[in-house]
């Protein structure tokens, strides 16, 4: 990890559990300004700061630009989840569903698969399809259960129509 990433991490660590406000945004923006204006990682961090501060309308274009510029697999997954969340919060549930579905299809074994499933379930519920959302959530939990895989999978599929 380079010094820049460590300094970004320190800002996020200091903000953990607290309010992300204009000060945190300013600190992230100052670090982002050390890089090229089109740097995907810097754009991602700026988007995340605004998203965490409850400003999804400001975060969305930054997430989109970061994804367009190219992020590593880890940050791409995070940016996609966070962008889908922001879109959902702004009322673009279909946009959120498209993004999160594409992310799941692109990497079904992603280390973020549970977060992807959670975002998918939330977006489905927001789209008026809570049974389908519950199916996605239960299916995401099944691998973590010590038993009942077959029955829980069957129950989940029955709830959501079986197309998860």
**Domain range list for the chain:** 3-92
3-class DSSP assignment, residue 67 = helix
At the top level of CATH, the class of 3-92 is mainly alpha
pLDDT of residue 19: 81
Task: Identify the burial level of 69 via C-beta atoms within 10 angstroms of its C-beta, where 0-12 means exposed, 13-18 middle and 19 or more buried.
Answer: middle
Handedness of CA 93, 111, 31, 39 (dihedral sign): negative
- 100-153 per-position pLDDT tens digit: 999 999 999 999 999 999 999 999 999 999 999 999 999 999 999 999 999 999
Which DSSP category does 142 fall into?
A: G
What are the pLDDT digits (tens) for 66-99?
999 999 999 999 999 999 999 999 999 999 999 9
Mean pLDDT, range 51-75, rounded to an integer: 97
Q: What is the per-residue pLDDT for 160?
A: 78
CA-to-CA separations, 52 to 22, 75, 126, 141, 142, in angstroms, rounded: 11, 16, 20, 26, 30
pLDDT tier at 162 (50, 70, 90 boundaries)? low
Which residue in 40, 91, 88 sits closest to 62, CA to CA?
A: 40
Tell me what pLDDT residue 1 has: 58
Taking the C-alpha atoms of residue 49 and residue 132, their distance in angstroms, rounded to an integer, is 31
């Amino acid at each position: 990890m380079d010094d820049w990433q460590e300094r970004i991490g320190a800002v996020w660590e200091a903000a953990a559990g607290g309010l992300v406000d204009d000060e945190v945004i300013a600190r992230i923006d100052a670090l982002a300004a050390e890089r090229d204006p089109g740097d995907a990682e810097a754009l991602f961090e700026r988007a995340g700061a605004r998203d965490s501060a409850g400003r999804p309308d400001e975060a969305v274009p930054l997430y989109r630009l970061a994804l367009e510029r190219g992020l590593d697999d880890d940050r791409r997954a995070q940016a996609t989840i966070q962008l889908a969340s922001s879109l959902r919060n702004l009322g673009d549930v279909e946009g959120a569903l498209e993004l999160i579905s594409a992310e799941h299809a692109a990497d079904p074994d992603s280390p973020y698969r549970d977060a992807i499933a959670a975002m998918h379930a939330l977006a489905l519920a927001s789209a008026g399809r809570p049974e389908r959302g519950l199916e996605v959530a239960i299916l995401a939990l099944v691998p973590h259960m010590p038993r009942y895989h077959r029955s829980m999978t069957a129950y989940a599929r029955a709830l959501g129509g079986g197309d998860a």
